[in-house]
Every structure is written in structure tokens, then in C-alpha cells.
Amino acid sequence: MSTQSIIAALNERINTYLFEQQSPQDINSKVVNFKSPSELSQLIDFKVSSDAVSEEDFIQMIDQYLEYSVNTGHKQFFNQLYSGFNLPAFIGEIVTIATNTSMYTYEVAPVASLIEVEMIKLMNGYTGYAEGDGLFVTGGSNANLIALFTARNTLLKDCSEQGYDRREKLRLFVNETAHYSFDTAANLLGLGMESITKVKADENGKMLVSDLELKIAESIERGEKPFFVAATCATTVMGSYDPIDEIADICQQHKLWLHADGSFGGSALLSHKNRHLMCGIEKTDSFAWNPHKLMNIPLVCSALLLKNSGLLQQNITGINTDYIFHENESSDLEHFQDLGKKSIQCGRRVDAVKLWFAWKYFGLDGYEQRIDNLIDMAAYAESKVHSISELEMVRPRQSFTVCFRAIPAGESQSVTNINDYNRKLRETLIKTGNVIVNYAFIDEILTIRLVTANAELSKSDIDQFFNYICDAIELIQSKK
């Protein structure tokens, strides 16, 4: 194969693909060319054989991947907590892939190491962690794991050497609608999922502080040791923010570690108008933040921030691997601390660089405007639901998500029937390829969950989405 011709073919196809993402999308632009698994298996040869493929077949593989993958940069992709295309971050990703380095030492990643330090410093400036620390990790779930890991090791000084003694009866508290990663983290750390207490939420998804107080008191009465509380900053379904300020008062009273899981909604901190959603963030001990969501950085771009420096490296004790870490051998390094010494990973991607490219490109003010636009578009979508007689809000909008459902005309209004109708509505939308939007359950109600995560959204894009909704409703009704 000719490297030059393959690169030329790739460049042509990527240019076309990205141009379609950036150009105004018309009625013929699809989010996905939907195929079932069996249909896709007929179209693409997924097996690897003994013989190398030809150049023509290799280029066809590129075409097929782009043809049948979901276009998450499309303005009608509302399915996940991330969406949109970010040109400077994309360029940053290309640069990091081309240089192909790892983030364990300054020696092999000099520019990237200084960039990561600067990005952590900038992000800590938004949280109010004046003497803070932090590290880029493999996602919000990993950030929550390391926060719990750090809290446990801070409380139990000998844990890293001797392991966790179950007689300690450690207990952690999360919103009942918190992300499942806390269950996974408790499992991985040997605490066990039964060590988690799910605190009741109000009808809008926010943690009930009164129930938190009650459950902490009950835990102490049982002879347990409460040590960790997680406040969620934008729940997965309703986009609800737990009242950090009130939770912090309780944690200070009982000397509990307070973690804020801002994996979804942490970027609200960038907005002066909307950062009130996270009032009290400076009182937390750690914070998970995913720029790959509302900041539109390509996956994965996640950071764990800590109020107190040194705790991350304290987690990873006893590192004496002279085949990697040599920072004390050269005065030229000016005592720079290799970032790998505070990471549970050895090989680690250069994820901070694409964030740096994007933040430098848009500037602080530009990113604030982008976050404000996301909230504005969610508010506009909520108003559209109220204006369409066939639709109703399931819960009032809290931030970046709009939870609504369609009500079938002339049929039984049972919950089961309405749920089935909305499931069919979503399936109809996806099969057209025009729009992808997800659903979730709030109590027993199936809700269509629209997420405004694409910073380039405009009112016309929201209008188009609801046009597709109305078209799908009409199609379903016509088949009865």
C-alpha cells in the first residue's frame, strides 16, 4: 500500500465529513444511516484474515466506518451527555496522536506536562481550590473512583499497606439518582456496594438534606463510620444539582469528605450567570469534571481536582521505578514533579492538550458564552414542549436536559400505554436517521430526555427537532 495515497484519501474523506458537520444541516442531513446488527454485518466484513487487505479495500473500510457510524457532531444528536464538534480540540487530538507520548514523565512529555499543570491550575481557579491539585483521568467514573480511594486512604492511614479492614464499617452517601460509578467504585475498593447509602431526592432530583442528616445519624447509631458524601452536579436524567452549600455544612459537622461529581454539569462553573447551580463548590474536598461533555472536547477528557495538594501522590506510595522516573538526576528539570507519580495509570493519554487548544482558541469569555447558550437552548426547548399540545413536561427543567413525553390521542391513558407509545416514538425517530434522542425512567414514567450539549445549537435546530417529533407522531397515528 502507498502511505501517501492512503493519507490523501483519508484527508479527503475527513474534510468532507467535517465540512458536513460544520455546514448548516438541511432536511437531507442524517445523524445516522441506521442499520440493524445483522444488516451491518452483511455490509461490512468485520473478520480479520491471514492476508493483508488491498489498498482499495482499506480505503473502503474508512468509507464504511464513516458511512454507518453515528454523527455525534450533528445538531440533531441529542442522545447523550456529549455532542458537537470542536475544531481546535480536534486539532489538539491530532497533534497528540501524531507525537504519541505518555504522561508519566516530563522527559517524554515536556510540553504536555506543563500544559496539564496549567489546565489543572485553571480549573482549580473555578472551583476555588487555592492550593489545589489534580490530574487528568480516563473518565468521570474513574475520577469518582480515585476520589473515593483518596478519601478512604486519608481516613485510614495504613490502608495502602495493610488493606481495608471491614470491621471499620465505612459508609458513604450518594443521591439515590447518582451515577452507578459509585457502586462500581465501592466494589473495586473492597468497601462493597452495601456500604453505600442512597439518600432520597426531591421530585426535581435534588438530594434531600434532611434525609442525609437522618441517614448519617442512623449509620452512627449502628456503629458504622460515615466518611464520604457525593453531591451530584447535574444528574444523568434530570440534570439536577444537589445543594452543595447545605451538604457541606453537614459534612463539616461530621468531618466527612465531600466530593462533587460534576462529570455532566461541572462546566456550569464557566458561566457567571449559571454557576449559582454549584454554590458552595469551594467547600468540597474533590471534584470530578468532564470537559468532553459540555465543553465539547473529543472523548475522553476528564479531570479529578482536589482541594489539598499531595494527596494523590500519597495514594500511590512506594514508587521507586528508576527505569521511568529520573527527575532528581538533572538540575535542568528544576525539581519538576513527574505527573506519573500521582496516577494509578502508568501509560496515560495526553488529554489535557486538546482542552488547552480549545480553551486558547475560544478564550475564557468564549467558553462562558458557549455554556450560557446551552442553558438558553434547553430553556427554549422547554418552551417548545409547552407550546405543542401533544407533548407535556414530565418534570420542570433543571439545567441542560429537558424531560418530556408525548400523550397519545384517543387511547387509554395508562402509564404502561403512554410509555409504550413514547418508546415507539423514539424508535421511529432513530430509524429515520434524522434525529437521535434518548429516554429514561423517572419513577415509573418513561421520559424522552433531550440534552443540549452541542454548543453550536441555535433555536432553528431546536425547532427542527420538534418538527421531527411532530412528524413521527403523525406517522404513528396514521398507521393505526
Q: What is the pLDDT of residue 334?
A: 61
Nearest to 186 by CA among 157, 227, 214, 216: 227
User: 256 with 234: CB under 8 angstroms?
Assistant: no
Which residues partner with 446 through β-bridges?
441
Q: Is the pLDDT of residue 392 over 70?
A: yes
DSSP string, 307-322: SSTTHHHHHSTT---T
140-160 residue pLDDT tens: 999 999 999 999 999 998 887
Supply the CATH classification number for the domain 92-358. 3.40.640.10
Angle, CA of 335, 338 and 343, to the nearest 5°: 145
Our CA angle for 365, 366, 369, nearest 5°, is 90
What percent of the chain has pLDDT above 70? 93
Q: How far apart are CA 10 and CA 355, in angstroms?
A: 24
Strand (E) or helix (H) holding 422: helix 415-432
Q: Is the pLDDT of residue 383 over 60?
A: yes
The tens digit of pLDDT for each residue in 102-142 reads: 988 888 899 999 999 999 999 999 999 999 999 999 999 99
The partner residues of 135 in beta bridges, in order of sequence, read: 304
Asked if 401 and 450 count as a contact pair (C-beta separation under 8 A), the reply is yes
Which spans in 281-396 are helix H?
311-315, 352-387
pLDDT of residue 321: 63
Least confident of 166-175, 208-217, 358-367: 166-175
Which has the higher per-residue pLDDT, 186 or 312? 186
Would you put residue 205 in left (φ > 0), alpha (ψ -120 to 50) or beta? left
CA 77, CA 432: separation in Å to the nearest integer? 13
User: Averaged over 41-58, what is the pLDDT?
Assistant: 93
Helix H or strand E segment including 448 = strand 445-451
Contacts of 321 (CB under 8 A, 6+ apart): none
Whether the per-residue pLDDT at 295 is higher than 70: the answer is yes
Please tell me which residue, 409 or 402, carries the higher pLDDT value. Answer: 402
Query: pLDDT-derived band of residue 27, with 50, 70 and 90 as boundaries?
Result: low
In this predicted structure, the answer to whether residue 78 has a pLDDT above a threshold of 80 is yes
The amino acid sitting at 134 is: G
pLDDT tens-digit readout, 324-343: 666 555 556 566 778 888 88
- Please give the pLDDT value at position 21: 59
* Average pLDDT over every residue of 66-85: 94
The b-or-e profile of 6-36 (16+ CB within 10 A means b, else e) is eeebeeebeeebeeebeeebeeebbbbebee
Domain spans of the chain, in order of start: 3-30+33-69, 92-358
- Radius of gyration of the chain from its Cα atoms, rounded to whole angstroms: 24
